[in-house]
Structures are given as structure tokens and as C-alpha cells.
Amino acid sequence: MPVHYVTYKGIKFPPAYNSVHSLSFAHNEFLVRDDDVFNITYPKSGTVWMTEILSLIRSHGHPSWNQTVLNSDRMPWFSTRLGLEAALSYPSPRLLTCHLPRHIFPKSFSHSTAKVIYTLRDPRDVVVSYFYFCKMCNSYEDPVSFEQFLRDFLSGELPHGSWFEHVRGWMQMKDRENFFFITYEELKQDLQGSVRRLCHFLGQNLDDDAISSVVQNASFMAMRQNPMCSSILLPADIMDQTKGQFLRKGICGDWKNHFTVAQTETFNRIYLEKMRGLNVAFPWDRD
Ligand code: A3P
């Protein structure tokens, strides 16, 4: 079945959750509070992982909130129809989530000290993860082939827009005090150290036991066993669990099992072109 995406400012969004009104409200009218904390990502970069980490940090490592409340209620997607309502009635300090690119993020953010945590991932692994996600999530068009999907990713045609523009837009904030960026690869390599850095940025003091509990409860296996974040509670007409798993593999470098030599060459050429002048070294730049 064809999917009729919602389009806002030239970017496509999945219709199940978004409307032009919710996106426009988020962009133009949503009032950011100084004590808001935003979890921002391009899709498939570790959004839900960061949701689990941040809500565990907020609970000082006690897992009961994560185990009893859906992740989307703990950290509402404020630019979506349902998430907007939840965000507006959420008592401060709020934890909020979105995939919005910088240029359509709430205008009121410019004058606020709200904190942003931006998580990025090797774009080659993003495109692979996104490909499988689109196969199981009915709010996205079923990909015709990986070849075509990769082409659409590189030209910025996929829902949520161009990965390159998303990263370039948000990374403009990299020297601001209220902006923290981290990669999926760093989370994988050293989750404990990453949690400590996040606590420092958030001004939250957690002792060693609390940090260990965050690490344990945000592990891939713990998350797979937690229905509040594994997506199995989503309605079957949105997420078809017979076609895959949301927490699919949780590894770095799966792109190597999917990209042909020609696709790798094309990717590298376009990546270099589009990232020129950004002057940030990401873990995947070493590959
Ligand atoms: P894969 O499809 O490569 O497995 P998002 O939340 O932005 O949609 O990202 C989903 C991706 O993050 C999926 O990648 C998922 O498995 C991975 N992920 C989620 N939690 C994780 C964890 N605790 N450890 C490693 N990867 C995780």
C-alpha cells in the first residue's frame, strides 16, 4: 500500500504520528523551557537507546520507571500529534525526543538554556538499520531494494530528510554549552564512560552503583526483554513484528554485510563531498 507522507518544509514525515499542524506547532509555537532536555537524532541512530539511558539517569539508576512506563510516555515525541499533548502536560523538568532537523526545531529554543543531546551513528549503519525498519513499520514505504534505498538516503529523499543536512545543522551547535553530542559507536565501546559524561553534562550526580544500574538496564539484552522499549506493544497495523525486530542486531559495522564495493565507493565519494568543512572527526571516519 502506498504511504502518503506528511510534508513539512519540504521534508517527508510518516503519517501515523505526524501532521502538518503538529510539526508547524512544534516549529513555531512550542515553548521550550530552560530545564528541558532534548534527545535528538536522525532515525536509527540510537534514539530509543538514549531514551533508556536518560530516563535511567533521571531515576538515579532505579529501573522501575523504564520497566513500567512506555518510552514514548517517558520522553514524549513533542512534534507528533500524541506526543505534543503529552509534552504540553508534562511537568518540568521535561525529557523530550525528536528527529527534527535544526532548521525546523522550535524557534523558542534560540533564547533558552535547554539542553540538547545529539546522538549520531555511522551513516552506513543508519541506512542498513533504516532499511529493515521500513520493512516492518507500516508508516514507511516498503523499500523496493537496498540499492534504491541507499540512493534515496544519499539524495536526502527518505522520510526525515537528509542525514547530511541533519548532522551539519545540529553540529553547528557543537561549541555551545547546552549542546552535547555523542556517537552510537562511543556508547557501544564504553557505555559506562558515556553515562558518566552524560551525567556530568546534565549536572546529575550518580554514585557507582547507580551508574552500573544504568549500564545494565540500558544493555541491548535488557532492552530486548523490556516491552516498554522493545516496540512489541505497538499496534500490529503500525509495527509488523512478523517482519523483523525493532532491536534488530545492535552492532557496529553491519553495513559491511550489505554494501557492495561499488556502493561503498559511491557512498565514500558523496560522504566526503557533503561533509566537507565540518571539521569534526567521527569514529567511522577512520574506516
Ligand atoms: P539495528 O537495526 O542496527 O539493530 P533508533 O532508536 O534511533 O530507531 O535506533 C534503532 C537502532 O539502535 C537499532 O539498530 C537498534 O538495535 C539499536 N539499539 C537500540 N538499543 C540498543 C542498545 N542497547 N545497544 C545497541 N544497539 C541498540
ipTM: 0.99
Cα 110 to middle of ligand 1, angstroms: 30
Q: Is residue 286 over pLDDT 90?
A: no
CA distance 45 to 185: 10
Residue whose C-alpha cell reads 503500525 in the numeric block: 238
- Ligand 1 contacts (CB < 6 A) are 41, 43-49, 125, 129, 132, 218-220, 223, 247-250, 254
Instruction: Quote the CA–CA distance of 267 and 261 in Å, as a whole number.
Output: 10
Confidence band (pLDDT; 50, 70, 90) for 238?
confident
**What does the mean pLDDT of the chain come to?**
96
Q: Which atom of ligand 1 is nearest to the CA of 222?
A: 23
Element (H, E) at 273: helix 261-275
Average pLDDT over residues 108-124: 97
Q: Do the beta carbons of residue 126 and residue 43 sit within 8 Å?
A: yes
Give percent of the chain with pLDDT exceeding 70. 100
- Mean pLDDT confidence for 103-116: 97
Query: Mean pLDDT, to the nearest integer, of 101-128?
Result: 98
pLDDT above 90: residue 231 = no
Mutate to test the pocket of ligand 1, among 52, 100, 247 (most ligand atoms within 8 A of CB): 247
- pLDDT, mean of residues 231-235: 85
* pLDDT band at residue 127 using 50, 70 and 90 as cut-offs: very high
Listed range (82-96, 98-112, 145-159, 234-248) with the worst mean pLDDT: 234-248
State in Å: Cα 78 to ligand 1 middle. Answer: 21
Q: pTM of the predicted model, to two decimals?
A: 0.97
H/E element, 119:
strand 115-120
Burial code of 165-186, b = ≥16 C-beta within 10 A, e = fewer?
bbbbbbbebeeeeebbbbbbbb
Over residues 74-107, the pLDDT tens digits come to 999 999 998 999 999 999 999 999 999 999 999 9
Sorting pLDDT into bands at 50, 70 and 90, what band is 234?
A: confident
List 116's β-bridge partners, or say none. 38, 179
- What does the DSSP assignment read for 207-232? -HHHHHHHHHHTSHHHHHT-TTTSST
